Amino acid sequence: MSSDPDTPITPTWGPLRSFGRIKSRTLKPRQAALFDTLLPTISVPDPANGPIDPLALMPDAKAVWLEIGFGGGEHLAAQAARHPDALMIGCEPFLNGVGSALRHIEDGALKNVRIHADDARDVMKALPDASLDRVMILFPDPWHKARHNKRRLIQPPFVDLLCRKLAQGGYIHCATDWEDYAVQMLEVLGAEPALRNTAEGYAEKPAYRPLTKFENRGLKLGHGVWDLVFTKK
Ligand SMILES: C[S@@+](CC[C@H](N)C(=O)[O-])C[C@H]1O[C@@H](n2cnc3c(N)ncnc32)[C@H](O)[C@@H]1O
């Protein structure tokens, strides 16, 4: 893994605009307690303080995976349990989601999860180039009103950053239940010369991906689901 000393740590984009809220309800007592006990022991160092070495987070990690916007952490915890040799970095600014994830991590006695309770893009910038083996972005905020489309995460500058941080042969897995966002993802990821689509267009839902909360919500609303799996050439 190489470090890029020229990578600015300060984000070059605007502040995080989350579709949901950063906190929607009072944390349950157990989750609130986990913020004080578990979170400090598994937090990713503040990216504002300089580069982050994933091997310092888990010296024996065989792979480094990143989930952006893990929501309640169900998928993050499931992948961590299935792949105990892989370091799972999860980023999520929604504090109730972080509380839920902490509960899953404690319940599963998971030792390979590290959390950044904030914007994933800051962590990505602080990670070495070519250090990520898999990046998962499942049901990102849809920003479905046309005037809000520009707030979507999957845009060329973000994909450029993603490609820099992805190792050769690494994977990016996105899914959405908004068709026009799926079209945008396919267009933006497909236009990136460093990436190769593993499917003709959209991918089959990979068997390893459990149903997520937002996917379930979309399905109940009668939405379709589109998965995209690209690999770095
Ligand atoms: C629609 S929810 C989906 C949650 C989960 N992946 C699921 O499928 O249930 C999208 C999540 O992405 C988070 N998010 C948005 N922008 C983010 C960013 N820049 N870094 C990390 N998380 C982000 C939001 O807080 C929100 O919880």
Position 183 scores a pLDDT of: 97
Residue nearest to atom 5 of ligand 1 (CA): 71
Mean pLDDT of 66-73: 96
**Neighbouring C-beta atoms of residue 87, cutoff 10 Å:** 23
Mean pLDDT of 159-177: 97
Mean pLDDT of 147-169: 93
Q: Which of 161, 153, 105 is nearest to 128 (CA)?
A: 161
Looking at beta carbons, which pairs linking 9-12 to residues 24 or more positions away fall under 8 Å? Answer: 9/47, 9/48, 9/50, 9/51, 9/122, 9/125, 9/126, 10/48, 11/119, 11/121, 11/122, 11/125, 12/157
Position 46 scores a pLDDT of: 96
Ligand 1 centroid to Cα of residue 91, in Å, is 8
Ligand 1 centroid to Cα of residue 21, in Å, is 10
With 50 as the cut, is the pLDDT of residue 95 above it? yes
- pTM for the model stands at 0.91
Q: Which of 52, 207, 199, 58 is nearest to 126 (CA)?
A: 52
Percent of the residues in the chain that have a pLDDT greater than 70, as a whole number: 90
The residues assigned a catalytic role are 141
Q: Which of 92, 100, 170 is nearest to 128 (CA)?
A: 170
Instruction: Give CA–CA dist 17/213, Å, rounded.
Output: 20
117 lines ligand 1 (CB under 6 A): no
Mean pLDDT of 93-99: 93
Where is mean pLDDT largest: 2-11, 23-32, 149-158, 167-176?
167-176
Q: Please give the span between the terminal C-alpha atoms of the chain, in angstroms, as a whole number.
A: 17
Mean pLDDT of 182-209: 95
172 lines ligand 1 (CB under 6 A): no
Q: What is the pLDDT of residues 21-45, one digit of tens each?
A: 566 678 889 999 999 999 999 999 9
With 60 as the cut, is the pLDDT of residue 7 above it? no
Q: What band does 19 get if pLDDT is binned at 50, 70 and 90?
A: very low
